[in-house]
Amino acid sequence: MTPINANKVLSELHSFVPVRACRPWRVVRRQIWLAGVLILLSFPNAFAQSSDFSTFWKEFKSAVIAGDKAKVAEMTKFPLSMPYSVKAVKNKEDFLRRYNEIFKGEANAAQCFVSAKPRKESAGRYEIYCPFKDTPDDRENAPIRFIFESRKSGWKFTGLDNVNE
């Protein structure tokens, strides 16, 4: 058996200490980077809100144009805000009963949505403006506003308004 040299063992054990002691910022920087990545991954909507809305808008628009009331109701947040002096839409059953009032009342949403361009109002809100159904080609006077907001469950149709009221 060979004898163990204690000095050699101690020098090997402590050989990396000066390297770590001189570069603690690398360890801290890696920890901060990792924490940042984990935080960003926990918020998947942080990067893709616009594209998420684009996908939502295509589905919502298609459902309205097709008259798929059930699909549109799934994409709606209740209570649905309505124009001044009009009662809010309380729930899905109320929505299905009042569907024509919402989408064929003052504006013909199906006709409008074919060429409507969403307007980004903030990071979590888009609006679509439609003209009165009696003047469908008057895009200069489009006071009927359909409001969409980002929620925890994704984008939802949250309100209808007549900006002239």
Say if residues 31 and 24 touch (Cβ distance below 8 Å): no
Question: Could you tell me whether strands 154-162 and 144-151 are parallel, antiparallel, or unpaired per DSSP bridges?
Answer: antiparallel
Each residue's pLDDT tens digit, 7-55 = 665 555 555 555 555 566 565 566 665 665 555 555 554 444 445 999 9
**CA–CA separation, 39 vs 21, rounded Å?**
28
pTM of the model: 0.69
- Identify the pLDDT of residue 139: 76
Tokens of 27: 């360890």
H helices present in 16-91, as ranges: 17-22, 24-41, 45-66, 69-74
Each residue's pLDDT tens digit, 76-127 = 999 999 999 999 999 999 999 999 999 999 999 999 999 999 999 999 999 9
Q: State the chain's maximal CA–CA distance in angstroms.
A: 103
